Chains A and B, each alone.
Chain A
Amino acid sequence: MRNVAILSWAQTPFKRREIELSEVQMVMSVCSEAVRESGIPKHEIGFTCSGSSDYIAGQPFAFVGAVDALGAWPPIMESHVEMDGAWALYEGWLKIQMGYAESALAFGFGRSSMGTLPETLNLQLDPYTLAPLGIDSISLAALQARALLEGTDHSEREMAEIAVRSRRDALDNPVAQLKGEFEVEKLLAEPTLVSPLRKHDCPPITDGAVAAVIASEELARKVCEKPIWIRGMDHRIEPHQPGFRDLTRSPSTQLAAEKAGADPSSLDVAELHAPFTHQELILRDALGLGANTRINPSGGALAANPMMAAGLARIAEASQQIRSGHARRALAHATQGHCLQQNFVCVLEGD
C-alpha cells in the first residue's frame, strides 16, 4: 500500500437555501480553494472525482455541468460517483494506490433546497415493491429509531442530548447552518414529527459543496508542511431492502472500521455522518467509541447536512482537528442510503 495524505480541503458556508451561487459556482469556489491550499499547481492534479446526484439537481447529467467549474482544458482525467464526495475521495485514493495518479481532487455538492428531499430520496428504494409505497427518508429513519428504542436501552433523552451537543458544538464551526444553545427538556416537550422522531432528531436541509486534495507520500512531502495521513480506509454495504436488516445495528460500519484499522482506544476525535440523532447511537456502538473519543466537534450532519457532501465534510473536519492540534488520530465516517445502508470509515493521523 502507498502512503497517501490529505493536503487541503474547503467547504462552502452551509445554508438552507443558496440563492446567489449555482452548483457550478459553489464547486468552483471549494475546488479552487482546496487546490490553491494544496500547493500543487492546478494543471498537475492527476485525477479528479465528483460525488453528486442528478435527482437532487432535478436535471439529467447535472454532474457533467460541474466539470465547467474545473477549467478542464487541456482535458483532464475525471470521474464521478453517484455517492457522497467521501466515495469520490476513495476513488482518488485507489487511483493513487494503483499508480495512475500522484494526486487527486475530490468534491461533493448539492442544492437540496430546490426539491423535496425526503421524497426525492424515496427513489433510492427498490422501484418495484418499495418506492411505490411513497415512504420517505424520514419515515424510514423513524422505523429505525423505533426499533432501536424498543430493542435496546437507548432513549429519546439520549437522542435529544445528541441534538443539544451538536448544535452547541456547531457554534464554533463557521460553516455550520444550525447552531445555538438548546435545552434537552424543552426539545423533549416538542411534538413528534414522524414518531418517535422530533424535529431536532432530523438533519436540516442544506445547500453546499466540499472539496479535498490528496496526494502520494512522495508528492505530499514536497508540497505540504502538515500532511494528514490516511492510515486506513474502507467502505461496506448492507442489503438494499431495509426489512432484510437488523436496523438497530451497523455491521457494515463495524467491518469497515476493522478493515481500516480503527482501534477505538487510539481515537481522539470521531466525525460521524449521522443525519439522525439515533444513528449516532448506532454508529457509536458499532465503532465501540468510548469517553476518550470526542464526537463531532464540528456539530456533524445535525448542524449541516449538504447531501452528497456531508460525508466528505466529516473528512475535512476530522483533518482540521488534527491540523489544529486538537487530535493526533481521528476517524471520519460517511454514510449513504436509507438507515445507514452504506458506510465508509477512514482513519487519519498527523505526522
Chain B
Amino acid sequence: MSEEKQPVKSITTPTRLVYQWAATGTQAAFLNRIARGELIGQRCPECRNVYCPHSGNCPRCGVATTETVDVQDRGTIITFCIVRVPSENIDLKLPYCAANILLDGSDMPFTALLDECEPADVRAGMRVEAVWRPKEEWSNTFENIRYFRPTGEPDVPVEKLGAWV
C-alpha cells in the first residue's frame, strides 16, 4: 500500500485552557462558613424551602434567596447506592456507599460519602452525621467533611420522608 493510502488511525492535538473560577458573593459566604466548621443555607421567600449548599436563588421559584439560616451537620439518608465499579477519578476503596442526605434544617438532599457502615446495613431513613477532618486541616472547601456515618439514632420511617422517596 502506498504511503498516502495508509489509514491515519489517530492524531494527537493537545488543548489546555486555564480558568480562574471566582466564588461569587453567596458562594463565598457558604465557603467562609464551612471553613469554620459551620453549614449554612438560604431560604426561598416564596416556597420557604431551604437550600444547602445554596447558590443565591430558588431553582423552583426562580427568585433570589436572601435569608441565611443555619443547617445541621447531621441528617437522614433519602436514597443511596453501593458502588463496586472503579473510576479513575475517585480514589476510594471499593465498595463504597454514596448517599443522598437531607440535612436537618435543609430541604434539598445532596450527595455525600457514607462510611463506618457495612453496605448491607445502609437504608433509607437512616440517621447520619458528618465526620469532619481535624480542625487544623480546614479550609474553604466541602472536603472539610471526610464522610458521613450512622448516629445510631432510630430511623426516620420511610413514609415520613415525604416527597423525597
Interface residues of A (CB under 8 A from B): 17-22, 24-25, 28, 31-32, 42, 55, 58, 67-73, 113-116, 119-120, 123, 127-128, 131-132
Do the beta carbons of A73 and B57 come within 8 Å of each other? Answer: no
B50 at the interface (CB under 8 A from A): no
A20-B25, A22-B26, A73-B60 provided; 14 other pairs, C-beta below 8 A? A17-B22, A22-B55, A25-B26, A68-B57, A69-B57, A70-B62, A72-B62, A114-B21, A115-B19, A115-B20, A119-B17, A123-B15, A128-B11, A132-B13
User: Per-residue CB proximity of B1-35 to A under 8 Å, as 1/0?
Assistant: 00000000001010101111110111100000000
Q: Which size class do B's interface residues fall under? A: 20 to 34
Do the beta carbons of A71 and B25 come within 8 Å of each other? Answer: no
Interface residues of B (CB under 8 A from A): 11, 13, 15, 17-22, 24-27, 55-64
Do the beta carbons of B57 and A24 come within 8 Å of each other? Answer: yes
Do the beta carbons of A127 and B13 come within 8 Å of each other? Answer: yes
User: Which residue on chain B has the smallest CB distance to residue A127?
Assistant: B13
- A71 and B55 in contact (CB under 8 A), knowing A20-B25, A58-B17, A128-B13? no
Do the beta carbons of B17 and A72 come within 8 Å of each other? Answer: no
Hey, which chain B residues are within 8 Å of A68, CB to CB? 55, 57, 59, 62
User: Which residue on chain B has the smallest CB distance to residue A73?
Assistant: B60
Do the beta carbons of B13 and A131 come within 8 Å of each other? Answer: yes
User: Which residue on chain B has the smallest CB distance to residue A35?
Assistant: B62
Alpha-carbon distance A71/B46, docked complex (angstroms): 11
Hey, which chain A residues are within 8 Å of B19, CB to CB? 58, 114-115
Hey, which chain A residues are within 8 Å of B17, CB to CB? 55, 58, 115-116, 119-120, 123
B80 to chain A, nearest CB (A): 24
Do the beta carbons of B62 and A28 come within 8 Å of each other? Answer: yes
B164 to chain A, nearest CB (A): 15
Do the beta carbons of A22 and B56 come within 8 Å of each other? Answer: yes
- A25 and B62 in contact (CB under 8 A), knowing A114-B19, A114-B20, A116-B17? no
Hey, which chain B residues are within 8 Å of A55, CB to CB? 17
8 contacts between A and B (CB under 8 A): A22-B56, A28-B63, A32-B63, A71-B59, A72-B62, A73-B59, A127-B13, A128-B11
Alpha-carbon distance A68/B63, docked complex (angstroms): 9
Hey, which chain B residues are within 8 Å of A18, CB to CB? 24
- A71 and B60 in contact (CB under 8 A), knowing A127-B13, A128-B11, A131-B13? yes
Alpha-carbon distance A55/B58, docked complex (angstroms): 25
Contact of A71 among B20, B26, B62 (CB under 8 A): B62
Q: How many A-B residue pairs have CB under 8 A?
A: 76
Instruction: Rank and list the top 8 A-B pairs by shortest CB-CB distance, nearest first.
Output: A71-B62, A58-B19, A68-B59, A132-B13, A22-B24, A73-B60, A71-B61, A20-B25
Alpha-carbon distance A15/B150, docked complex (angstroms): 47
Hey, which chain A residues are within 8 Å of B13, CB to CB? 127-128, 131-132
User: Which residue on chain A has the smallest CB distance to residue B60?
Assistant: A73
Contact of A42 among B20, B57, B62 (CB under 8 A): B62
B26, B62, B64 — most chain A CB neighbours (10 Å): B62
Hey, which chain A residues are within 8 Å of B18, CB to CB? 115-116
A28 to chain B, nearest CB (A): 5
User: Which residue on chain A has the smallest CB distance to residue B44?
Assistant: A71
Alpha-carbon distance A120/B15, docked complex (angstroms): 10
Hey, which chain A residues are within 8 Å of B58, CB to CB? 71
Alpha-carbon distance A69/B60, docked complex (angstroms): 9
Alpha-carbon distance A18/B22, docked complex (angstroms): 9
Alpha-carbon distance A173/B56, docked complex (angstroms): 28
Hey, which chain A residues are within 8 Å of B56, CB to CB? 21-22, 24-25
- A28 and B57 in contact (CB under 8 A), knowing A42-B62, A70-B62? yes
Alpha-carbon distance A128/B147, docked complex (angstroms): 44
Do the beta carbons of A58 and B21 come within 8 Å of each other? Answer: yes
Hey, which chain B residues are within 8 Å of A128, CB to CB? 11, 13
Do the beta carbons of A22 and B62 come within 8 Å of each other? Answer: no
Hey, which chain A residues are within 8 Å of B63, CB to CB? 28, 32, 71
Alpha-carbon distance A69/B64, docked complex (angstroms): 9
Alpha-carbon distance A113/B62, docked complex (angstroms): 25
Do the beta carbons of A21 and B59 come within 8 Å of each other? Answer: no
Hey, which chain B residues are within 8 Å of A28, CB to CB? 57, 62-64
Hey, which chain B residues are within 8 Å of A58, CB to CB? 17, 19, 21
Alpha-carbon distance A21/B23, docked complex (angstroms): 9
User: Which residue on chain A has the smallest CB distance to residue B56?
Assistant: A25
User: Which residue on chain B has the smallest CB distance to residue A131?
Assistant: B13
Alpha-carbon distance A72/B15, docked complex (angstroms): 36
Alpha-carbon distance A120/B17, docked complex (angstroms): 7
